[in-house]
Amino acid sequence: MKEILLLKYGEIVLKGANKRYFEDMLLRQLRHKAKPHGDFEIYRSQSTIYVEPKDDFCDMDGMMAAASKVFGIVAICRAAVCEKNMESILATVKEYIPPHLAGKKTFKVESKRSDKAFPLDSIEISKAAGGALLSACPYMKVDVHNPDVTVRVEVREYAAYVHPGPVKGAGGMPVGSNGRGLLLLSGGIDSPVAGYMMAKRGMTMEAIHFESFPYTSEMARDKVLRLAQIVSEYNNDEMIVHVVSLTKVQEELVKHCDEDYFTLLLRRYMMAIADRVASKFYCGALVTGESLGQVASQTTEAIGVTDPVAAHPVFRPCIGLDKEDIVVTARKIGTFETSIEPYEDCCTVFTPRHPRTRPDLKKVLAQEQKLPFDELVEEALANMYRVDVTPEGYEVRQ
């Protein structure tokens, strides 16, 4: 029996005259995702994307998993294809649906007749399909209010389709439909989640990672690149990571500035460097994993001190989430176990014993003037290198 994937999209249907632009972007991304799983024909009709295998060698399980990581898709239906007549529809219901009912006790049938020339209406199709399924599975009962399974019959332009209900898709908007962002990617739990969340809103993500070798290790850097590999699966299977050393900056801070200002001053250097990298690589915004009040550098006052050095807007998708919310998402996207590996990052080096949580900008600037700010920023940028990341691995490019 021939199977097909029916992919339903959400926000895109509201885009009016721009709808075609978003649909084309979604089709390109799905065709890219399909390549490792076989030869599929992927096309759109009636606000649905059809993913049709061209031969028996196509990996439907792999394609379904790949489609689940494409933003813009809200529901994925794995369906049996049949001719647009009731005899074929009922035979398909009786053959295709019972294996999906294992452990279930109740069902209902919902039908959609997109082809208005079909002789039966949706209610009549559902009644007939429900009767056929009961004859094939007499142990099942119909429950129209709270069924264990909702079987669906869709009569569309080209054929009829029968399936046991949709699987939830990734939602959001196609990656690339809302510009580029530069993610400040650390080895923690929060920043990979922030990158995922902005990719879900259609932003193509690049990343910048700050290291402090020899105070931070190559293993710490490799951990971050492994996180980037995971996030890249949601970012059209690629991510560029710009790696910048903050060793010189931190050593100068320790020599010349008051200890309780170390974190704030370091954050200002990070934002300034990231801002210049964003300009160089045409990123329209910076993205961080900050959550309000989570640590000393993430109070309202501290954020107000660090943001002024950046000309780009700073997006903080985790700002209103508590740690539990962020952990739930990290587990869902597969970054959590890597994030909790016990390797240091630059923000844990030279951490002050009593960091400022309610800083005054004038006092911060007075501390900052003890150092040649622009000179240190330019020196850090001069030694920056790039890593190209895909889900399969990464390559350092000097």
CA–CA separation, 352 and 216 (whole Å): 17
With 70 as the cut, is the pLDDT of residue 386 above it? yes
With 70 as the cut, is the pLDDT of residue 346 above it? no
pLDDT bin (cut points 50, 70, 90) of residue 311 is very high
Q: pTM of the prediction? A: 0.91
CB atoms closer than 10 angstroms to residue 130: 21
Map residue 250 onto helix, strand or coil.
helix
Average pLDDT over every residue of 114-126:
94
Every domain of the chain with CATH number 3.40.50.620 lies at: 180-397
- Please state which CATH number belongs to domain 3-168: 3.30.2130.30
Every domain of the chain with CATH number 3.30.2130.30 lies at: 3-168
Q: Does domain 180-397 have CATH number 2.40.50.100?
A: no
What percentage of the chain exceeds 70 in pLDDT?
A: 96
pLDDT value at position 81?
97
DSSP letter string, 276-340: HHHHHTT--EEE----TTSSGGGSHHHHHHHGGG-SS-EE-TTTT--HHHHHHHHHHHT-HHHHT
With 90 as the cut, is the pLDDT of residue 94 above it? yes
Average pLDDT over every residue of 152-180:
95
pLDDT value at position 260?
85
pLDDT value at position 64?
96
The answer to which of 129-133, 291-295, 340-344, 387-391 has the lowest mean pLDDT is 340-344
Residue closest to 176 by CA, chosen among 91, 244, 233, 236: 236
pLDDT value at position 267?
93
pLDDT value at position 353?
66
pLDDT bin (cut points 50, 70, 90) of residue 347 is low
Average pLDDT over every residue of 79-85:
96
pLDDT in tens, 238-286: 999 999 999 999 999 989 988 888 889 999 999 999 999 999 999 999 9
pLDDT, greater one: 257 or 226: 226
In sequence order, what are the residues at sequence separation of 6 or more whose Cβ sits closer than 8 angstroms to the Cβ of residue 129? 89, 90, 93, 109, 111, 151, 153, 162
pLDDT value at position 328?
97
pLDDT value at position 188?
92
Please state, rounded to an integer, the average pLDDT across all residues of the chain: 93
The answer to which of 186-190, 241-245, 299-303 has the lowest mean pLDDT is 299-303
Contact 289, 188 (CB under 8 A): yes
CA–CA separation, 161 and 5 (whole Å): 10
pLDDT bin (cut points 50, 70, 90) of residue 49 is very high
CA–CA separation, 79 and 166 (whole Å): 9
